[in-house]
Structure 1
Amino acid sequence: MRDEMGLFEEPFRSIEQGRKTVEIRLNDPKRQQIQVGDQIQFTHTETSEILLVHVTKRQVFPDFRALYEQIPNEDIDCIGWSLDDLVTSTYTIYSPEAEQQYGALALTIALEP
């Protein structure tokens, strides 16, 4: 299965350069369908560039705080960020209400050769 998601400049380049190996998302109905072995097509939101990755691991958490307590900052290319900084930053994308409804998802990914 191939899933499609958009990415802003910084996370797009981070994945492209191999610094980010875990993609964080809300575990909404669309993302609940993603399984290990699936392919994700990331599209840069400004340039329409495309990156293809495959999912090597899928982890569900009750909330983003629990996720960030388990996923190393290096894996999300956020070295030096505090737990509070990570959660606050995530709330600029997803609402606490949506988080409470769906939970959080960590997808370990690898670039397609």
Structure 2
Amino acid sequence: MEKEITITINIKSNNIPIEYSDGNTHIVGLMDKPFGAIKSGKKTVEIRANSDERPFDYSTVKANHTLRFINEESGESMDTRVVRVTHYPNVKALFETEGTEKTLSVPWSVEQGIQLIHSFTGYKECIEKHGVYAIEIWVI
């Protein structure tokens, strides 16, 4: 199966491919703080949204797939096993069901969490159009 690389990031002068799938392994970038929270086991639900500018489709991620995170600062990678994927119409519904303790790398209220997620460039508009995914994971 041929890899279709959609996005690359530059880490320590190296272009690293992210946001692509290789069979049942999905590779995505992640900022340092949430990467550490997942690695420590504190954060067990990753929040992702589809975008018209970034063609990666999170509806292709299924239970028992591997979600490989690439730390966008250090380049370190970490494999996780997908336990379940739940689609929500908006971030408020996601946080009201999933809570913020296992979905964010900091213990914030639902309102603070919504503000955080909406602060990422383009996320608010993408979520309004496509909804948002809660991907429960375990480090393997």
- Is the shorter-chain TM-score for this pair beyond 0.5, marking a shared fold? yes
Partner residue of 2:113?
A: 86
Give distance in 2, aligned partners of 1:56 and 1:47.
26
Give distance in 1, aligned partners of 2:40 and 2:62.
24
Where do 1:32-71 residues align within 5 Å? 32-71=59-98
Select the structure that is richer in helix.
1
Partner residue of 1:108?
A: 136
1:73, distance to aligned residue in structure 2 (A): 2.0
Give distance in 1, aligned partners of 2:50 and 2:88.
9
Paired residues of 1:27 and 1:60 also in contact (CA < 8 A): no
Give distance in 2, aligned partners of 1:39 and 1:27.
18
Give distance in 2, aligned partners of 1:104 and 1:38.
18
Residues 3-27 of structure 1 deviation map (CA, whole Å, 9 limit, x = unaligned): 0111111100000111000001114
Q: Which runs of 5+ in 2 are unaligned?
A: 1-23
**Secondary structure of the equivalent of 2:101?**
helix
Give distance in 1, aligned partners of 2:97 and 2:126.
21
Percentage of identical aligned residues: 25
**Secondary structure of the equivalent of 2:57?**
helix
Partner residue of 2:13?
A: none
Match of 2:57 among 18, 30, 54: 30
Amino acid at match of 1:7: L
Amino acid at match of 1:55: V
Q: CA RMSD in A?
A: 1.3
For normalisation by structure 1, the TM-score amounts to: 0.91
Q: Which runs of 5+ in 1 are unaligned?
A: none
Runs of 4+ in 1 over 3 A off after TM superposition: none
**Secondary structure of the equivalent of 2:33?**
helix
Paired residues of 1:68 and 1:83 also in contact (CA < 8 A): yes
Q: Are positions 1:19 and 2:47 aligned together?
A: no
Amino acid at match of 1:2: T
Cα distance change of structure 1 residues 52 and 18 upon mapping to structure 2, 3 Å threshold: same
Paired residues of 1:21 and 1:110 also in contact (CA < 8 A): yes
Residues 51-87 of structure 1 deviation map (CA, whole Å, 9 limit, x = unaligned): 10010011110011110111122212432x1211101
